[in-house]
Structure 1
Amino acid sequence: MRGTAVLLAVLLVAGCSGAPPDGTDGDLTDDWPLLTSAAPFRPVTGQCHESLAATAPLAEHRPVDCAELHVSETYHVGTPAPADVVPAAGSAGARAAFQECSQRAADFLGGSWRTARVAVQVVWPTKAGWSGGARWFRCDVTTADLDGQSRTSRTGSLAGELAGASPLRLGCFNPEVDGETVTTMRPVPCEQAHRAEFAGLWKAPEITYAALESGTARSAAGCRSVIAKFADLPDNSDMQYRTGWISYNPTRTEWLSGERRVRCFVYFASRTFKRSLKNAGPGVLPVN
């Protein structure tokens, strides 16, 4: 028994004092890298989403492949100016973000989103996300009707969509009108009989949104000038006797974000055309 105990003690001492295994230095603490600090979530471009809202809670961030049915697509992620809270609608920070998204949209789409059935929306982190250090805004693009209220689901990316011919480009339409309200603008090829056509954009002045919506005289004058240039007509008081007009204002959210472009359309209550009225001239559109 004494001999066994002595032998065991010798073996233990030899194990503790021997050289470390090959490939190690015997120090168990010096080779562990420090853990990186946790970073706030930041979205990425090229992702599509099944819904679109003004804020994006992290718990609801479930992007889908753009080949699947979706409502919006993220094409740019920006960094806002430093602020203690999420920029409110109409604030300088919110307007700067919308301007950046609007400019980036042209590069992404291959053309102006304002001349297509497309809408741009800024998506912000939630208040909780902002408090946790999130400092980003998402630029999303979506197909939409002319009043900007209805989002349309689609499959496929919108990247380069407006670089060439596209069914989303504003062209010729057959409107349905109830009194002085346009209820539907149904797009049709310009070679088919139609009563309206997109003529261009009019930049509204810096007035309140209520003032823009309440009166038509300002929009009528602005759009008649746009139509005159589009159809190669004299821009004078006779324009009101040559064509009618339809205008679509920015949404209230867009207006608060600084958007001032109004979409203008040539319109006839009963007369139809089977051609574009671009550069049509007084011979096609006489004073009546």
Structure 2
Amino acid sequence: MRAVVTAVAVAMLAAGCSATPSHGGDGDLTDDWAPLPAPAALSPAVRVCHARLAPTASAVDDQPVGCGEVHVSETFHVGRAPDSDVPPAAGTAGARSAYSECSEAAVDFAGGDWRTARLAVHVVWPTGKGWSGGARWFRCDLTQTDLDGYGQSGRTGSLEGELTRPSPLRLGCFTPTVDGETVTEMRSVPCDRKHRAEFAGLWQAPDVSYKELEAGTDRSAAACRSVIARFAALPDDSDMQYRSGWISYNPTRTEWLAGERRVRCFIYFAERTLTRSLRNAGPSVLPVD
């Protein structure tokens, strides 16, 4: 700006005009400009889709794509981060608070409990450079994912209102592939086709270590049997272990660190196949074997 002002002043003098301002100023144009405002840290926009999911993002250099194009994640909410020297570390109160806010906002955005669908919530923080520059936001992204939560699937179309209508992302009936005690695949099928597993609901795990959660199969068995009993209208008693088997999916380690405590429970049969949902099926359909 100084070079431009000087050029203007020279031009005025060459034209025979006075450089003294008519409003009675001091004639020094260089001190009559208001100071420029401090640059404000940019904040990401909502309802924007992204070609990839990253744990940190810059509001300046992020490369969004249209939600009608193939994308991996979608920003549905932007929250205000605490004012600290660095972004909250994983597992801290600040990081858990951000995840909780994102989780609640995701229910409204998707139009239902995203935990009952093949969806996952992610918190994206500013980069370290952006944080140092004054960025104090966190971005809430939603992804289409696998049951175990470790894979993100490319998709087209926004997830807004996805669970307000019939959706292939809702957890329903499945044909599982089991190797010993490990489920290697859960292939989604319509419930009126042959299947051996069905999503029954969620249970809230206690605030234990992730290692203890993974090792606590007795706890998961008891909890999932109770979930299945409610789902299938069965007595929640010791006979449940003879009516069906169960499959459970824990949160990922990253989700657990963020405060996620939901465990997904599925009713499961090693050999029996069904062509209907077992919701409210009752003891006549699921007798004690």
For 1:275, the aligned partner's letter is R
Q: Separation in 2 of the partners of 1:235 and 1:16? A: 96
The answer on 1:258 being equivalent to 2:239 is no
State how far apart, in whole Å, the 2-side matches of 1:166 and 1:25 are. Answer: 69
Q: Identify the residue that residue 225 of structure 1 maps to in structure 2.
A: 226
Shift of the 31–64 alpha-carbon distance from structure 1 to 2, 3 Å rule, reads farther
What amino acid sits opposite 2:144 in the alignment?
A: T
Name the SS of the counterpart of 2:46 in structure 1: coil
3-state secondary structure, aligned to 1:240: helix
**CA shift at 1:32, angstroms?**
5.8
1:159 aligns to what?
160
Amino acid at match of 2:157: G
* Deviation, structure 1 residue 182: 0.4
Q: 4+ residue stretches of structure 1 with deviation over 3 A?
A: 14-17, 24-34, 57-60
The residue aligned with 1:188 is 189
TM-superposed CA distance for 1:82, in Å, is 2.3
After TM superposition, the score normalised by the length of structure 1 is: 0.89
Deviation at 1:31, TM superposition (A): 8.7
Query: One-letter code of the match for 1:212?
Result: L
**Letter paired with 1:261:** R
Most deviating of 207-216 and 58-67: 58-67
How many corresponding residue pairs?
Answer: 273
Identity %: 67
**DSSP 3-state at the match of 2:56:** coil
State the partner residue of 2:268. Answer: 267
| 2:9 counterpart residue number | none
CA distance in 2: counterparts of 1:191 and 1:26, whole angstroms: 87
Q: Gaps spanning 5+ residues in structure 1: where?
A: 1-11
Q: Secondary structure at the match of 2:65?
A: coil
Tell me the secondary structure at the aligned position of residue 124 of structure 1. Answer: strand
Structure having the higher Rg: 1
Give the Cα–Cα distance (whole angstroms) in 2 for the partners of residues 60 and 90 of structure 1: 27
1:138 to partner: Cα distance: 0.3
Report what 2:124 is aligned to. Answer: 123
Deviation at 1:25, TM superposition (A): 6.8
Gaps of 5+ in 2: 1-12
SS at match of 1:38: coil
Q: 1:183: how far off? A: 0.6
In 2, distance between residues paired with 1:161 and 1:26?
Answer: 65
Letter in 2 for 1:191: D
Determine the C-alpha separation between the residues in 2 that align with 1:60 and 1:225: 49
Query: Following the alignment from structure 1 to structure 2, what is the Cα–Cα distance between the partners of residues 182 and 63?
Result: 35
* TM norm structure 2: 0.89
Cα deviation code 1:185-236 (max 9, x no counterpart): 1000001111000000011111110011123111000000000000000000
Q: Distance in 2 between matches of 1:16 and 1:171?
A: 83
Cα distance in structure 1, aligned partners of 2:16 and 2:235: 103
Residue 54 (structure 1) aligns with: 55
Say whether the 8 Å CA contact 2:205–2:263 is kept in structure 1: yes
Cα RMSD (Å): 2.3
Q: CA deviation at 1:41?
A: 2.4
The residue identity in structure 2 corresponding to 1:92 is A
Shift of 1:26: 9.7
